[in-house]
């Protein structure tokens, strides 16, 4: 049975009634590419770039980063790879950050905030990503955007880096799409305004759940409250998807919920454009997708949106899964 799931994984991720989504992979190492391709992924929807920066005293050089990114883009071409800029802090600390002694690193100088403060590191990474974009199909993703000002600052720096490359005659893809992670409640609420200034959204449910419900995603004492099907989370995701589609941009869900068979039908009902999940989850999730009916997902979503407790939503999902899939 496992073998037949694997064999079918190269078939398109299409529901029984013909609704197609992109199934992409979340990876952090170039070595994971064979697994991505074998699993039948449409590309890499989230390349976590922290690895090269961790466990060393000095930051990697532009050439080191460029070599890594260009190799990745080349191996995946013509499939897309979405490079997320440095998302350090909280669970992934750099030596510069540990010196800050932040009482609450998850709410501290992390991700895009760190990059806007340490622009030398940020510019080096952006140059490397842009140069790598000449070797395949690349997109750029900014993590932890909390508001428009931050996004505009990041895009301003990106434009300055592009101009430097132009002046130096260095090739890059001038049309490389630029997106943001929607993973803070503030970004959810202003998602319509944000959608007007980017090419795509990627919803990071791991952090969105943490920051919306006030639950440290790594704290076992409160893990019982870490509930992806909390009505506040379902409504937040729906709100973001609707804002994006109203503004004509695409939405990917890249947190763990996208590979949770209980959450997937609800996300499908929202008509998300893509999911990005761990490579090893791809064959199984494609198998489920190909046995799912979109109209039933929409019906389930309608019911779920009217519910106000997690237990009601869980019951609705279980009934749907057992009765129909």
End-to-end CA distance of the chain: 17
Q: For ligand PEP, which is the closer residue by CB, 32 or 183?
A: 183
Does residue 260 interact with ligand PEP by CB under 6 A?
Answer: no
207, 215, 236, 267: which one binds ligand PEP (CB under 6 A): 207
C-alpha–C-alpha distance, residues 84 and 71, integer Å = 16
Does residue 204 interact with ligand PEP by CB under 6 A?
Answer: yes
Contact characters 182-201, Mg ion, x per CB under 5 A: -x------------------
Does residue 206 interact with ligand PEP by CB under 6 A?
Answer: yes
Contact characters 202-241, Mg ion, x per CB under 5 A: --x--x----------------------------------
In this structure, are strands 43-48 and 250-253 parallel, antiparallel, or unpaired? unpaired
Q: Determine contact, residues 162/155, Cβ cutoff 8 Å.
A: no
- Using the 8-state DSSP alphabet, how is residue 260 labeled? -
Residues 253 to 272 in contact with Mg ion, rule: CB under 5 A: none
Which element (helix H / strand E) includes 178? Answer: strand 178-182
Identify what 123 binds: Mg ion, ligand PEP, none; CB under 5 to 8 Å per kind: none
Query: In terms of C-beta density within 10 A (0-12 exposed, 13-18 middle, 19 or more buried), how is residue 102 classed?
Result: middle
DSSP lists the bridge partners of residue 253 as 203, 275
DSSP lists the bridge partners of residue 142 as 180
- Using the 8-state DSSP alphabet, how is residue 14 labeled? B
Identify what 292 binds: Mg ion, ligand PEP, none; CB under 5 to 8 Å per kind: none
C-alpha–C-alpha distance, residues 26 and 129, integer Å = 17
Identify what 86 binds: ligand PEP, Mg ion, none; CB under 5 to 8 Å per kind: none
Contact characters 58-97, ligand PEP, x per CB under 6 A: -----------------------------x----------
Does residue 283 interact with Mg ion by CB under 5 A?
Answer: no
Look-up of token digits 């600052």: 153
40, 89, 179, 255: which one binds ligand PEP (CB under 6 A): 255
Residues near ligand PEP (CB under 6 A):
46, 48, 87, 183, 204-207, 254-255
């Amino acid at each position: 049975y496992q073998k037949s799931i694997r064999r079918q994984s190269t078939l398109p991720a299409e529901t029984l009634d013909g609704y197609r989504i992109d199934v992409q992979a979340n990876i952090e190492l170039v070595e994971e590419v064979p697994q991505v391709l074998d699993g039948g992924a449409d590309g890499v929807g989230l390349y976590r770039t922290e690895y090269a920066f961790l466990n060393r005293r000095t930051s990697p050089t532009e050439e080191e980063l460029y070599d890594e990114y260009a190799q990745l883009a080349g191996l995946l071409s013509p499939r897309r790879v979405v490079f997320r800029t440095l998302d350090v802090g909280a669970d992934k600390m750099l030596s510069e950050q540990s010196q800050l002694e932040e009482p609450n690193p998850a709410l501290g100088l992390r991700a895009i905030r760190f990059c806007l403060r340490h622009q030398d590191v940020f510019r080096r990474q952006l140059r490397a990503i842009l140069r790598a974009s000449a070797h395949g199909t690349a997109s750029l993703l900014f993590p932890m955007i909390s508001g428009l000002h931050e996004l505009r600052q990041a895009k301003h720096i990106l434009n300055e880096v592009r101009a430097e490359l132009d002046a130096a005659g260095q090739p890059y893809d001038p049309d490389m799409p630029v997106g943001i992670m929607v993973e803070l409640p503030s970004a959810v609420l202003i998602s319509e305004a944000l959608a007007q200034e980017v090419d795509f959204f990627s919803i990071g449910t791991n952090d969105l759940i943490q920051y919306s419900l006030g639950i440290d995603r790594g704290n076992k004492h409160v893990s019982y409250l870490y509930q992806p099907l909390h009505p506040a989370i379902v409504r937040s995701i729906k709100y973001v998807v609707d804002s994006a589609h109203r503004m004509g941009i695409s939405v990917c869900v890249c947190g763990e919920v996208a590979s949770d068979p209980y959450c997937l039908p609800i996300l499908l009902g929202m008509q998300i454009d893509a999911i990005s999940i761990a490579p090893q989850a791809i064959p199984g999730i494609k198998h489920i997708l190909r046995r799912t009916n979109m109209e039933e997902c929409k019906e389930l979503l309608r019911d779920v949106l009217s519910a106000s407790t997690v237990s009601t939503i869980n019951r609705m999902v279980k009934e749907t899964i057992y009765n129909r899939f």
